[in-house]
Amino acid sequence: MKVLLALEGPVEEGPNTWANNLYMNLSKRFNNKNGDTIDQVKTRNVKAFFRAFISFRKYDIFHFYSQSPGAAILFLLFKILRKKTIYTVHGNFKIEAKYKPWPINWLWIPAHLFVIKNVDVLTFPSNYIKKEVNDYLESTKLIKKSKSSQYVIHNGIHVGEYPKDFILEKLKKFNKIISGVSSLNILSLTSFYFKPKTEGIDLLVETNKILNKNGIKTEVRIGGKGHQLTEYKTRYESENIKFLGYCNIEEENKLADIFVHLSYLDNLPLVILHAGAIGLPTIASEIGGIPEIFNGSENKAIWGLTTNDAKTVAEKIIKLISDEKFYLEVSKSQYKNIKEHFHLTTISTEFWNIYKNLLKNFYL
């Protein structure tokens, strides 16, 4: 079995980072075993795309996260030769189209509909986005029949051992934070491409004002890039609110005391998984696919979800940092949940099984 996995590149943003990590995990575990190979192509890299273009015949399966013209060309070539194709829908394309520049905004929905109708397998990072896509298709009746199989495979991340000493070190400063002597380090990471996501920063700023009025000093660090970043820096950047642009997630998580992810549109954000994987307590909006991260294994929600109300968010932050025992419990429960349900090795195995079954059925 020979698989070609496509992402856009460079590897700087959520879907590309995730697709690259998936490739590395699959390659490490399955490459050159039992005659199986998995290769990667970054479709916006001209040389990489050209190499894939001239050698695509040797592959059995084309799996793409990329939404570039290069990925579209490879998809058509695989379909012409009746090879198997898999597309991972990592965004709500009907909403994204509103924020794309012309003429991409005209082509975005038709291109996705063409892929959905003709691809062999569709995967989704959350049940939420699967329902959104299928409800849209049913309501518009734009696709009468699609032969694709559909699977929900959550995003995943590598999870190491619980960093107990790292978390205990943070607890030592909470008395000083509550008394107003030290500052609370708040981290948020978002996209500045889509308004419904970026508006979460407006809510975070309002939350920060409430915390400051309650005597809690803060240092808010906001990572992420996009065309709205300059506007938000001009509007909000101050002595205690910093906009980082593209940043090192691991380093920023280690500096933070809590991770806050506020948004009005999200499928299954990787940034929450990154925070949970090192035990950094997270407070996140109860919208989109985010509740699926906090479901837990005992059919009850892990603490951390919030309504998009600044007063409520501030109250949850104060509750978290006012009780060291509670902070530690939240840290451990969120970490355990990520390790059990979103470990990259488990997720990559699910994809590998789809590859095998797809090719097995092809030769039956």
Predicted confidence (pLDDT) at residue 117 exceeds the cutoff of 80 = yes
- Sequence-distant (≥ 6) Cβ neighbours of residue 315 within 8 angstroms: none
Using left for φ > 0, alpha for ψ between -120 and 50, and beta otherwise, residue 221 falls in beta
The CATH number that applies at residue 258 is: 3.40.50.2000
Q: How far is CA 3 from the centre of its chain?
A: 23
Count CA within 13 A, CB hemisphere, residue 223. 20
The pTM (predicted TM-score) of the whole model is 0.93
- DSSP secondary structure code for residue 45 in this structure: S
Q: Do 121 and 200 have their domain in common?
A: no
**pLDDT per position as a tens digit, 53-101:** 999 999 999 999 988 999 999 999 999 999 999 999 988 888 888 888 8
Q: How confident is the model at residue 148 (pLDDT cuts 50, 70, 90)?
A: confident
Q: What is the rounded distance in angstroms from the CA atom of residue 96 to the CA atom of residue 228? A: 15
Residues 319 and 177 reside in one and the same domain: yes
Please tell me whether residues 38 and 177 are part of one structural domain.
no
Q: Please indicate, yes or no, whether residues 8 and 73 belong to a single structural domain of this protein.
A: yes
Same domain, 297 and 314: yes
pLDDT band at 297 (very low <50, low <70, confident <90, very high): low
Q: Can you tell me the distance from the alpha carbon of 203 to that of 310, in angstroms, rounded to the nearest whole number?
A: 6
Tens of pLDDT, residue by residue over 156-194, are 999 999 999 999 999 999 999 998 899 999 999 999 998
- The reply to whether 332 and 350 lie within a common domain is no
Domain boundaries, position 114:
2-156+343-363
Claim to verify: residue 89 and residue 218 sit in the same structural domain: no
Question: Do strands 258-261 and 305-306 pair parallel, antiparallel, or not at all (unpaired)?
Answer: unpaired
Please report, to the nearest 10 degrees, the dihedral formed by the alpha carbons of residues 9, 125, 123, 90 taken in order: -40
Kindly state the tokens that stand for 59: 């592959």
Same domain, 200 and 304: yes
Taking the C-alpha atoms of residue 147 and residue 325, their distance in angstroms, rounded to an integer, is 52
Do residue 63 and residue 127 come from a single domain?
yes
Residue 222 has pLDDT above 60, yes or no: yes
HSE-CB of 127 using CA atoms within 13 angstroms: 4
* Residue-level pLDDT at 101: 86
Q: Both 127 and 43 in a single domain?
A: yes
- Do 218 and 337 fall within a single domain? yes
Could you tell me the two tokens for 2? 């020979």
Same-domain status, 183 and 134: no
Rg over alpha carbons for the chain, rounded to the nearest Å, is 22
Q: What span, in angstroms and rounded, lies between the C-alpha atoms of 268 and 287? A: 10
